[in-house]
């Protein structure tokens, strides 16, 4: 490829230089990179992504339901009702707590695994593949596996010799479910941290070691700061992924006990199933606004990263 | 510490990954009575094949497998073609309009799709419950991911190759098809792996769009499990999990190197 490009570069002075003439360059671009190439992608985005989002802002303020065919505007009634019985705030709080817990555990586990499996030995390569199995598995299947493992008479209690209802505790079950979510995705975080560790030149660490830094000190003050891009990526994807989560919670607790693990998507699924479409839409709008609000810093980081690529 | 590492790794893999997977396999091999309370003991009498045969028919696995393929294959094809076409022009023509379009195009990476109203829209379009509607919804959701990855990748490719072809008189379609697309192969591999992972395992969006009208593997697992939990049929639930995960295990065993470099290729450079 480098041979071809240098050949082209040698030839390029022979044709009119496009760079100093912006209008002309734009004209050339119009022919060589026509805008209709964008049409199919943006048509699909418009119909299947943006239009439903616009609908979200409309139908959240109606009485759309499965019980009658007419749809009338009702103003903020849906939100007032969701707020008055405490559902709105509780679902938002649970979703945020769940997202933060998942981001925390998934990164702790993923980072720990990456450090443990950093050297390229045969055993480490095999271990990495094993930790990748849950990433590829269906989240629903993962949920059922842990439901069985964590039953009161299940294997975990048997192994530990205790009798604890892991999935029936109104305070701690959300933490347990977040750990399961993190278990499923920790292999992905591990791979991304491993890739980050690989980009750090060995001589940097060696130089610090020669200067008398301990192994620990060299790790935390040289390697760790250089992992910043991997941390940003992992935290952002874990946060956004778990805010949009559904399968694992549905398969382990279904939102229980006493709705203490009912994240927004579980609520949306449940109310939709009951035919309360407008309420489901209102919550879907809440999720949209919640993510949009938190996404601003995330998008900025992603674009910054992309510029650095 | 170095000497203890292999033991720590082996123990960790056995406990953290081994125990859950062991539970699946032994329970899938048990009779209903033995599997009432799933534990780690070996079945007294292996009946894995009988259980697999039972869920094969009760869970309608052939129909579900076909349904999953029917959705995943066109989704991937549309995403790769339309996504890279758009990304190529967005990366090469840096106008103000394109900056706005790019921001819109990648907004779906973070913004959650409107799952409830998309059902209403599909009804109005006459696509409710159809595979075409499902393909459209998945394509709409994951186009952002493809556009983001591919645009970033195109910017790292020197335009000289395209220019050479243009001088030789090739039109944009020809240049895209013959020059650009082959160069995009690594990033398209990454995108394919990610999309397959999401779409093949998705159950949430499928519930809303095709639930009850088209069989897919995760939807049928949910059906088998919902009935199974009520009847305490853990052996059937895990037999289904074994069936559903087998193709993935085979793919992982054959293409693990590709998958690992594919997943990490797009993330950290």
> CB-hemisphere CA count at 13 Å for A73?
4
Domain presence at residue A54: no
| Structure tokens, B142 | 């994951």
Task: Please answer yes or no on whether B197 and A136 come within 8 Å at the CB atom.
Answer: yes
Cβ contact, residue pair A45, B143, below 8 Å: yes
Q: Domain for residue A72, yes or no?
A: no
| Shortest distance, CA A137 to any CA of chain B (angstroms) | 6
pLDDT for B266: 55
Please, are residues B150 and B87 in contact by the beta-carbon 8 Å criterion?
yes
**DSSP helix/strand/coil, B230:** helix
Intra-chain end-to-end CA distance of chain B, in Å: 30
Contact A148 B105 (CB under 8 A): no
Q: Could you tell me if residue B114 is left (phi over 0), alpha (psi between -120 and 50 degrees) or otherwise beta?
A: beta
The Cα A256–Cα A96 span in angstroms is 17
Q: From start to end of B125-207, where are the E strands?
A: none
Tell me the mean pLDDT in the region A19-48. 79
Chain B residues with CB inside 8 Å of A302's CB? 106, 109, 148
Interface test with B, best of A2, A4, A15, A37 (most B CBs within 10 A): A37
Cα B85 to chain centroid, rounded: 22
DSSP 3-state of B236 = helix
What are A227-237's pLDDT values in tens digits?
Answer: 887 888 888 88
Does residue B237 contact residue A164 with C-beta atoms inside 8 Å? Answer: no
Residue B89 to residue A41, Cβ atoms within 8 A: no
pLDDT for position A117: 94
| Distance from the first to the final alpha carbon of chain A | 20
Report pLDDT for A182: 97
Q: Smallest Cβ distance to B110: which of A145, A154, A240? A: A240
- pLDDT of residue A17 exceeding 80, the answer is no
Q: What are phi and psi of B60, to 5 degrees?
A: 45, 55
Is residue A63 within 8 Å of A69, Cβ to Cβ?
Answer: no
* Residue A21 pLDDT > 80: no
Could you tell me if residue A60 is inside a domain?
A: no
Q: Is the pLDDT of residue A55 over 70?
A: yes
Instruction: Name the closest residue on chain B to residue A23, using Cα atoms.
Output: B95
Which chain A residues are Cβ-neighbours of B16 within 8 angstroms?
A: 131, 183
The rounded distance, in Å, linking the Cα atoms of A205 and A216 is 11
**Chains A, B: CB contacts under 8 A, how many?**
281
At residue B269 the predicted structure's pLDDT band, cuts being 50, 70 and 90, is very low
Q: In terms of domains, do A26 and A155 share one?
A: no
Query: Cα separation of A303 and A250, whole Å?
Result: 33
What integer pLDDT is reported at residue A20 of this predicted model? 43
Q: What is the 3-state secondary structure (H, E, C) of A281-309?
A: HHHHHHHHHHHHHHHHHHHHHHHHHHHHC
> Which residues in chain A touch residue B19, judged by CB atoms under 8 angstroms apart?
149, 155
Contacts of B6 in chain A (CB under 8 A): 121, 123
Tell whether A56 is covered by a domain: no
Which residue in the set B140, B155, B225 is minimally distant from A49, CB to CB? B140
Q: What is the rounded distance in angstroms from the CA atom of residue A68 to the CA atom of residue A75?
A: 18
Same domain, A162 and A234: yes
Q: Across chain A, what does the average pLDDT equal?
A: 86
Average pLDDT over residues A19-38: 70
SS3 (DSSP) at B60 = coil
Q: Which residues contact A35 (CB under 8 A, 6 or more apart)?
A: B89, B93
3-class state of residue B171 by DSSP: coil
Q: Which of B23, B256, B267 lies at the smallest CB-CB distance from A195?
A: B267
pLDDT of residue A179: 97
What ranges in B15-114 are assigned the alpha helix state H? 19-28, 32-35, 48-58, 61-92, 96-106
pLDDT at A304: 65
- What is the structure's pLDDT at A211? 87
User: How many other β-carbons are positioned within 10 Å of the β-carbon of residue B240?
Assistant: 30
Q: Are residues A81 and A39 in the same domain?
A: no
Please name the residue that has the structure tokens 């020809």.
B174
pLDDT reading at A24 higher than 80: no
Domain check: are A159 and A42 in the same one?
A: no
Nearest CA in chain A to B89: A33
Q: What are the pLDDT digits (tens) for B44-78?
A: 888 888 899 998 988 889 999 999 999 999 999 99
By C-alpha distance, which of A248, A79, A223, A67 is closest to A147? A248
Rounded-to-integer distance, Cα B241 and Cα B235, Å: 10
Q: List Cβ neighbours of B114 (8 Å cut-off, separation of 6 or more).
A: A52, A53, A55, A56, A281, A284, A285, A288
Are residues A83 and A41 part of one domain?
Answer: no
Residue A58 predicted with pLDDT over 90: yes
* A30 lies in the same domain as A135: no
Share of chain A above pLDDT 70, in %: 87
Measured CA to CA, the distance from residue A305 to residue A295 in angstroms comes to 15
Please check whether residues A21 and A146 belong to one and the same domain.
no
Is the pLDDT assigned to residue A274 strictly greater than 60? yes
In a domain, A233, yes or no: yes
From the number of C-beta atoms within 10 Å of its C-beta (0-12, 13-18, 19+), residue A172 rates as: middle
The reply to whether A198 falls in a domain is yes
Q: Is the pLDDT of residue A13 over 70?
A: no
Say yes or no to pLDDT of B89 above 90.
yes
- Nearest chain B residue to A133 by CA distance is B249
The mean pLDDT value of chain B amounts to 89
- Check: complex ipTM more than 0.85: yes
Tell me, what's the pLDDT at A18? 45
Interval B217-239 mean pLDDT: 87
Q: Check whether residue A24 and residue A156 sit in a common domain.
A: no
* Least reliable range by pLDDT among A10-14, A137-141, A302-306, B179-183: A10-14
Residue B268 reports pLDDT greater than 70: no
Question: Cis omega before residue A257 (within 30°)?
Answer: yes
Confidence (pTM): 0.88
pLDDT over threshold 50, residue A15: no
What pLDDT score was predicted for residue A6? 36
Mean pLDDT of the A113-138 span: 92
Full DSSP string of A91-145: HHHHHHHHHHHHHHHHHHHHHHHHHHT-S--HHHHHHHHHHHHHHHS-HHHHHHH
Q: Tens digits of per-residue pLDDT, B19-34?
A: 999 999 999 999 888 8
List pLDDT tens digits, range A276-290.
999 999 999 999 999
Please check whether residue A267 touches B, CB under 8 A: no
Domain total of chain A: 2
Q: Are B192 and B266 in contact (CB under 8 A)?
A: no
Residue A32 CB partners (closer than 8 Å, separation 6+) = B92, B162, B166, B172, B175
**Do A34 and A167 reside in the same domain of the chain?**
no
For residues A224 and A270, membership in a common domain is answered with: yes
- Give the CA distances from residue A52 to residues A11, A45, A191, B47, in Å, rounded to whole numbers and listed in that order: 51, 10, 35, 48
pLDDT at B83 over 90: yes
**Per-residue model confidence as pLDDT tens digits over A107-120:** 999 999 999 999 98
| CA dist., res. A168 & res. A173, Å (int) | 6
Q: Report all structural domains of chain B as residue ranges with CATH numbers, in order of start.
A: 5-265 (1.10.3720.10)
Q: Is 50 exceeded by the pLDDT of residue A10? A: no
Cα(B186)–Cα(B182) distance, integer angstroms: 9
- Residues A99, A191, single domain; the answer is yes
Q: What is the pLDDT of residue A25?
A: 63
Average pLDDT over residues A4-31: 49
Cα gap B206→A54, rounded to integer Å = 21
Check if the beta carbon of residue B219 is closer than 8 Å to that of residue B72: no
| pLDDT digits 0-9 by tens, B177-192 | 999 999 999 889 888 8
What CATH code is carried by the domain that includes residue A101? 1.10.3720.10
Backbone angles phi, psi at A73, to 5 degrees: -70, 140
For the residues B157-162, what does the mean pLDDT come to? 88
Confidence of residue A4 (pLDDT cuts 50, 70, 90): very low
A residues 7-46 near B, CB within 8 Å? Answer: 8-9, 12, 15, 26, 29, 31-35, 37-38, 40-42, 44-45
pLDDT of residue B69: 93
Q: Give the model confidence (pLDDT) of A137-174 as tens digits.
A: 999 999 999 999 999 888 898 889 898 999 999 999 99
- Does A14 lie in the same domain as A90? no
- The residue range of the domain holding A126 is 77-308
Length of chain B counted residue by residue:
269
CB contact under 8 A, A139 and B201: yes
- Domain assignment present for residue A62? The answer is no
On whether residue A37 sits in a domain, the answer given is yes
Query: Chain B neighbours among A 125-144 (CB < 8 Å)?
Result: 127-141, 144
CB–CB contact A52 B118 (8 Å): yes
């Amino acid at each position: 490829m480098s041979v071809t490009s240098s050949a082209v570069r040698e030839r390029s002075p022979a044709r009119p230089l496009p760079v100093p003439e912006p209008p002309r360059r734009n004209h050339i671009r119009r022919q060589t990179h026509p805008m209709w190439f964008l049409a199919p992608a943006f048509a699909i985005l418009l119909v299947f992504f943006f239009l439903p989002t616009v609908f979200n802002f409309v139908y959240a303020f109606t009485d759309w339901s499965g019980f009658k065919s007419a749809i009338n505007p009702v103003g903020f009634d849906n939100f007032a009702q969701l707020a008055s019985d405490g559902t709105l705030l509780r679902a938002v709080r649970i979703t945020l707590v769940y997202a933060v817990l998942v981001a925390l555990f998934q990164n702790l586990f993923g980072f720990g695994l990456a450090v443990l499996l950093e050297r390229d030995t045969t055993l480490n390569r095999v271990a990495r593949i094993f930790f990748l199995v849950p990433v590829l598995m269906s989240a629903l299947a993962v949920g059922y596996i842990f439901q069985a493992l964590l039953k009161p008479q299940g294997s975990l209690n048997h192994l530990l010799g205790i009798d604890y209802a892991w999935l029936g505790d109104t305070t701690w079950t959300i933490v347990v479910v977040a750990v399961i979510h993190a278990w499923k995705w920790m292999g992905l975080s591990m791979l991304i941290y491993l890739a980050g560790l690989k980009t750090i030149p060995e001589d940097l660490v060696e130089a610090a070691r020669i200067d008398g830094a301990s192994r620990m000190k060299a790790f935390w003050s040289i390697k760790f700061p250089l992992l910043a891009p991997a941390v940003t990526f992992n935290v952002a994807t874990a946060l956004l992924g778990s805010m949009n989560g559904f399968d694992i919670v549905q398969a382990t607790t279904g939102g229980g006990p006493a709705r203490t693990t009912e994240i927004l998507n579980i609520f949306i699924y449940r109310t939709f199933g009951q035919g309360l479409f407008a309420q489901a839409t209102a919550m879907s709008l809440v999720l949209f606004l919640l993510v949009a609000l938190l996404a601003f810093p995330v998008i900025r980081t992603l674009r910054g990263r992309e510029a650095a690529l | 510490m170095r000497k203890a590492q292999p033991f720590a790794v082996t123990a960790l893999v056995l406990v953290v990954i081994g125990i859950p997977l062991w539970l699946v396999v032994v329970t899938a091999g048990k009779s209903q009575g033995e599997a009432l309370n799933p534990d780690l003991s070996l079945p007294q009498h292996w009946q894995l094949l009988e259980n697999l045969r039972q869920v094969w028919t009760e869970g309608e696995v052939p129909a579900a497998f076909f349904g999953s393929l029917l959705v995943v294959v066109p989704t991937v094809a549309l995403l790769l073609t339309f996504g890279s076409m758009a990304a190529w022009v967005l990366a090469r023509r840096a106008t103000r309009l394109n900056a706005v379009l790019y921001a819109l195009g990648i907004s779906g990476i973070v913004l959650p799709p409107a799952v409830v109203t998309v059902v209403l829209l599909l009804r109005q379009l006459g696509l409710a419950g159809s595979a075409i509607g499902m393909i459209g919804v998945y394509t709409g959701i994951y186009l952002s991911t493809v556009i983001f990855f591919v645009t970033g990748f195109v910017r790292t490719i020197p335009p000289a190759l395209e220019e050479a072809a243009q001088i030789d008189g090739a039109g944009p379609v020809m240049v895209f098809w013959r020059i650009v697309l082959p160069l995009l192969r690594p990033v398209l591999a990454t995108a394919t792996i990610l999309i397959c992972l999401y779409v093949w395992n998705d159950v949430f969006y499928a519930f809303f769009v095709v639930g009850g009208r088209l069989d897919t593997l995760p939807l049928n697992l949910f059906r088998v499990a919902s009935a199974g939990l009520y009847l305490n049929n853990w052996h059937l639930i895990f037999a289904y999990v074994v069936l559903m995960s087998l193709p993935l295990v085979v793919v992982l065993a054959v293409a693990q190197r590709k998958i690992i470099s594919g997943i990490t290729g797009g993330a950290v450079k």
